[in-house]
Structure 1
Amino acid sequence: MSTRRLLADPRARRYLTGQTLSLVGDSAMWLACGIWVKDLTGSNGAAGLTFLFFTAPALLAPLAGLLADRLPRRRLLVGANLAGVALLLPLLAVHGPHQVPLIYAVMLLYGCLHLVIEPAQSALLVSLLPTDLLASANGLLRTARESLRLLAPLAGAGLYALLGGAAVAVLDMATFAAAAGLLLALRVPDPAPARPERTGGVLRHWAAEASAGFRHLAGHPLLRRVVLATAVLALVLGFSESTGYAVVDQGLHRRPEFLGVLQAAQGLGAVVGGLGSAALIRRFGEVRVAAGAFLAWATGAALAGTPLLGVILAGRVCSGIGLTAMAIALLTLLQRSAPGRLQGRVYAGFEVTSTVPQTASIGLGAYLIGALDYRVLLLTQAAVVALAALLLLRAGRFAPSGEDARARSTVATTA
C-alpha cells in the first residue's frame, strides 16, 4: 500500500523517473568507457584505469556532503545534471589512442560529479516525502539500479559496438538533461539551509563543517554501533572480487566468462531484495532487516565454497538479496536518524567509513587468494559477516524506544 501511495504522488513520480533515467545513462557509460579504452590501446590495465579514475575522488565525499547541506538541494541537483551534459561533451572529440587521457579526465570529473549528486539525492528525498515512505522510495530506486546493472551495461556495450563511444556519451548526456528537466518541474520547498556562525579561522571553520557528519555518527549511540558493524563487514566484503574467479575456476572448473552467470544470479537476488525490503523494514525496523541481510550475505559466501553449481547459484541469489536489503535498510536508517541540516554530510560520512575498509579488503583479498585456499577466504568472510550481524543486533538495543511502535503504526496505517 505504501508503494501505491508513493507512486500516487506526482512529485515522487517525477523524482523517481528522473533518477532512474540518470541511472540508465550511468550504467551504460561506465562499461562503455572501459571498452573504449581497451579498443584504443589494446591494454587491459589501461581499460581498468577508467574505473580507478572514477572512484579516485571518493575521499572528497565529506566536502560533497557539505555542499549538499549548504546549497538548495533541488537546484544543486539540477545544476549537477546539467554539468554532466557539459562534462561529457569532450568525449565526442575522442578518435585515437593519444586521446585516452581525455577519457580519464572525464571519468575523474564524472566521479566528482557523482560525489555531489548522491548525498544531495538522499537529502532531497527526505524533504520530499513523509518518513514512512522513505523505505519504499529507497527500495524502488535500488531495484531500478540493480535491474539496470543487468540490462544497461549490455545495452551500452551493444550501442558502443554499433555506433561507438560517442553515441553512448550522447545517450548519457540525454539522460542527464532529462533528469534536470524533471527536477526543474518538481515543486518542493527548496530554501538554502541556514549557515552557522563562523567561529575561529576560516580553515578551522570549514574543517569543522566538513567533519560534522562524522561527529554526528560518532555521537549517536545507535549510528555509532551501526557504523562499527558495517565497517567490520566491509573489512572482508572486498574479498569477493578475488574469490569469485576462484569459485568459477577451481570450484566449478569453468572458464572465467562463466562468472557472468553467477553475477546474473546475484542480480536476480538483488532485484528480489529491492522489491521486498520496504515491507520488511515497516514490519521489523531497519536494524533487524540489516542484520538479516548481513546473515543472508554470509550464507551466500559459505555456499560458494561447495563445488555444486545449483548450491552456488542459490548462494549468489542470497548474497544479492542481502546486499540490496542491507543498502536500503542502512540508507533509510541514516535518513531517519540525521537532522535535515546534516543529511548530506551524514550520508557522505557513512560512505567514507564503509568504502575505505572495503577498498582495503579488495587489495588484501587479491594478496590472500594467492596464499590461501579460496574456501578458507569464503568461510572467513562468512564468519566475519555473521559477527557483524551480531554486532548490529546488539546495536538495536540503542534504537529509540518508539522505533518499533512507529513501524507497527505505519503498517496499520498503510494496510
Structure 2
Amino acid sequence: MRAALRAPGFGGLVLVWTIINLADSMLFLTLAIWVKDLTGSDGAAGATLAALAVPALFAPLIGHLVDRFPRRRLVSIAALAAAASVLVLTTTDELWVIYAVTMVYAAVGYLLSAAQAGLVRDLLPDEHLAPANGLLTTVDQGLRLITPMAGAGLYVTVGMDAVIATTAALFVVAAVGMTAVRVTETAPATEREPFLREVTAGFRHLFGTPVLGGMTVALAVAIGVTGLTNTTNFAAIEVGLGSGPAMLAVLASVQGAGAVVGGLTAGPLVARWDERRTATVGLVLLGLGIAPTMGTSLALIVVGLLGCGIGVSLTVVSFVTLRQRRTPPTLQGRAAAASNMAFNVPQLSAALAATGLILVVDYRVLIGVTVAVILVAAAGIGLLRTRQPEDGAAPAPAGTVGG
C-alpha cells in the first residue's frame, strides 16, 4: 500500500476520491430521510434509494463515454455536474425533482467509478493494483461508517440546504483537485466500430476472458442474491432479535467496520493467494456471515456481520484487481461499467422480488437460500482454472475497440 502511495499521482487520486466519497456518503441517505419527512411515506423514501440504482441500466453508455474522453478531465467535469445538480434541490422540494436529481447524481457516481478504474490502471503497475484497490475500498467503507450520520445530523440541526451546500462544495473541491493529479493517460482508442459493438465491448470482454468471465458470472449471482437481505434484515431484527428498525444502523456499522478490515488486508492476501482464491475466501465469509441472521443470538449476528464486511471487501478488491489486469487500457471504462451493471441489476431485481416473497415465505428460508447461493458461487470461483498469461493484461477479444 505504501509503495502505491509513493507512485506519482496516486496519492492525489486517493485524496480526490476521499473528497468525492465524503460528498456521496453525506447525501445519499439524507435524501431518503428528507423525502420521508416531506411525504410521511416509507414507500416514497424507499423509492429515493431505488432511484440510486436506476442509472446502472445505462452503465454501458457511461462506460463508453469514459473510454472516449480523457478521464482526468472527465472526472472534473462530472464532479462539477454533480455539484450543479444537487444545488437544484435548494430551489424546490418537489418529489419528482428530487428523484430526477437523485438519478443524475447516481449516474455521475457510476461515471466517476468507471473513470477511477482506468486512472488507477494508468498510474500503477500490476503488483500495486491490489493494495491500491484495497486502500480505495477502505476509504469507501470507512466514510460510509461515519459520514451518513454526519449528513443526517447536519440535516436535523441546520436543515437540508446545509447538507446540499456542503455536498456541492465538496464536489467542486474534488473537481479542482483532480486537475492537479499527475497522470499520463492512455489515449482513447482511435479505431471505431458500429456504435452497438463499441457500447457492448465491455460485456464481451468480461464474459469472453477466461477466469474473469467465470468470476463475473459467479459474482453476479452471489451479489444479486444478497438483494434479498434488504428485506430479510428487517425481519431478522424484528422477529429474531425482538428489536426495532433502528438496530439496522448499528448492525450496518458493524459490517462496515469489517469491510474496513477487509480493505486493509485484501492487498497482502491477493499477493499471497491471487485474486481467484481471495475472492473465494471472501464469498465464503460473506455466506457464512449471513447465516447467523436466521437465529436469535445478537453476539453471533455481530460476529457474522463482521465476517460479511471482511468478505465483501476481499471479494470486491480481488475482482476489480483481476479486471484491471486483464483489460486493455482503452477498455477499462466499459469493463468497469459493465461489471457495475452485471452486479447491480440482479441485486435490485432480488430486492424487489423479496418485498413480495417475504409475504408468503418465511424470512429464514430466504436467508438460507441466500447463504446457499453465495456458497455455490464461491465453489464455482474456486474451481476456475487460470488460463491467462501471468503478466500484463489479456488481449482484447476479437472485435473490441483498442485491442
TM surpasses 0.5: yes
Opposite residue 115 of structure 2, the aligned amino acid is: A
**Pairing 1:132–2:120 present:** no
Is the contact between residue 65 and residue 345 of structure 1 (CA under 8 Å) also seen in structure 2? Answer: yes
User: What is the correspondence of 1:203-242 to structure 2 with a 5 Å cutoff?
Assistant: 205-242=194-231
Is the contact between residue 66 and residue 344 of structure 1 (CA under 8 Å) also seen in structure 2? Answer: yes
Q: Distance in 2 between matches of 1:250 and 1:92?
A: 40
Q: Distance in 1 between matches of 2:35 and 2:290?
A: 33
Is the contact between residue 294 and residue 389 of structure 1 (CA under 8 Å) also seen in structure 2? Answer: yes
Opposite residue 250 of structure 2, the aligned amino acid is: V
Q: Distance in 2 between matches of 1:191 and 1:279?
A: 28
Correspondent of 1:402 among 374, 377, 390? 390
Q: Residue 401 of structure 1: CA displacement?
A: 5.5
Is the contact between residue 269 and residue 316 of structure 1 (CA under 8 Å) also seen in structure 2? Answer: yes
**Pairing 1:69–2:64 present:** no
**Pairing 1:378–2:370 present:** no
Is the contact between residue 187 and residue 330 of structure 2 (CA under 8 Å) also seen in structure 1? Answer: no
Q: Residue 128 of structure 1: CA displacement?
A: 1.2
Correspondent of 2:271 among 282, 307, 320? 282
When residues 223 and 191 of structure 1 are mapped into structure 2, their CA distance, relative to the original with a 3 A threshold, is closer
Tell me the equivalent position of 1:361: 350
When residues 259 and 89 of structure 1 are mapped into structure 2, their CA distance, relative to the original with a 3 A threshold, is closer
**Pairing 1:87–2:82 present:** no
Q: Sequence identity of aligned pairs in percent? A: 39
Q: Distance in 2 between matches of 1:109 and 1:49?
A: 15
Q: Distance in 1 between matches of 2:386 and 2:126?
A: 20
Tell me the equivalent position of 2:52: 54
Q: Distance in 1 between matches of 2:298 and 2:388?
A: 44
Opposite residue 50 of structure 2, the aligned amino acid is: L
Correspondent of 1:117 among 112, 115, 119? 112
Identify which range, 339-348 or 129-138, moves more after superposition: 129-138
Return 5+ residue gaps in structure 2 as ranges. Answer: 392-403
Opposite residue 388 of structure 2, the aligned amino acid is: P
Tell me the equivalent position of 1:156: 151
Opposite residue 332 of structure 2, the aligned amino acid is: Q
**Pairing 1:254–2:240 present:** no
Identify which range, 317-326 or 223-232, moves more after superposition: 223-232
Q: Residue 187 of structure 1: CA displacement?
A: 1.8
Q: Residue 259 of structure 1: CA displacement?
A: 1.9
Q: Distance in 1 between matches of 2:171 and 2:102?
A: 15
Is the contact between residue 234 and residue 361 of structure 1 (CA under 8 Å) also seen in structure 2? Answer: no
Opposite residue 398 of structure 1, the aligned amino acid is: T
Is the contact between residue 82 and residue 104 of structure 2 (CA under 8 Å) also seen in structure 1? Answer: no
Tell me the equivalent position of 1:350: 339
Tell me the equivalent position of 2:396: none
Q: Distance in 2 between matches of 1:11 and 1:129?
A: 9
Opposite residue 106 of structure 1, the aligned amino acid is: V
Correspondent of 2:7 among 6, 9, 23? 9
When residues 101 and 367 of structure 1 are mapped into structure 2, their CA distance, relative to the original with a 3 A threshold, is closer
Tell me the equivalent position of 1:142: 137
Q: Distance in 2 between matches of 1:266 and 1:326?
A: 14
Correspondent of 2:262 among 273, 276, 280? 273
**Pairing 1:338–2:333 present:** no
Q: Distance in 1 between matches of 2:41 and 2:337?
A: 34
Q: Residue 102 of structure 1: CA displacement?
A: 2.2
Q: Residue 367 of structure 1: CA displacement?
A: 2.4
Opposite residue 249 of structure 1, the aligned amino acid is: E
Q: Distance in 1 between matches of 2:82 and 2:347?
A: 27
Tell me the equivalent position of 1:185: 180
When residues 89 and 254 of structure 1 are mapped into structure 2, their CA distance, relative to the original with a 3 A threshold, is closer
Q: Residue 75 of structure 1: CA displacement?
A: 0.9
Q: Distance in 1 between matches of 2:109 and 2:248?
A: 28
Is the contact between residue 294 and residue 326 of structure 1 (CA under 8 Å) also seen in structure 2? Answer: yes
SS at match of 1:304: helix
The structure with the largest helix share of the pair is: 1
Deviations 1:285-330 (A, max 9, x none): 1111001000001111222222111111111111111111111111
Q: Distance in 2 between matches of 1:369 and 1:48?
A: 17
Q: Residue 10 of structure 1: CA displacement?
A: 4.9
What number of residue pairs does the alignment pair up? 391
Q: Structure 2-normalised TM-score? A: 0.93
Q: Residue 209 of structure 1: CA displacement?
A: 0.4
Which structure is larger by alpha-carbon Rg, 1 or 2? Answer: 1
SS at match of 1:135: helix
Identify which range, 305-314 or 19-28, moves more after superposition: 305-314
Q: Residue 181 of structure 1: CA displacement?
A: 1.7
Q: CA RMSD in A?
A: 1.6
Q: Distance in 2 between matches of 1:211 and 1:87?
A: 28
Return 5+ residue gaps in structure 1 as ranges. Answer: 199-204, 404-415
Q: Residue 338 of structure 1: CA displacement?
A: 0.5
Is the contact between residue 210 and residue 388 of structure 2 (CA under 8 Å) also seen in structure 1? Answer: no
User: What is the correspondence of 1:287-306 to structure 2 with a 5 Å cutoff?
Assistant: 287-306=276-295
**Pairing 1:22–2:20 present:** yes
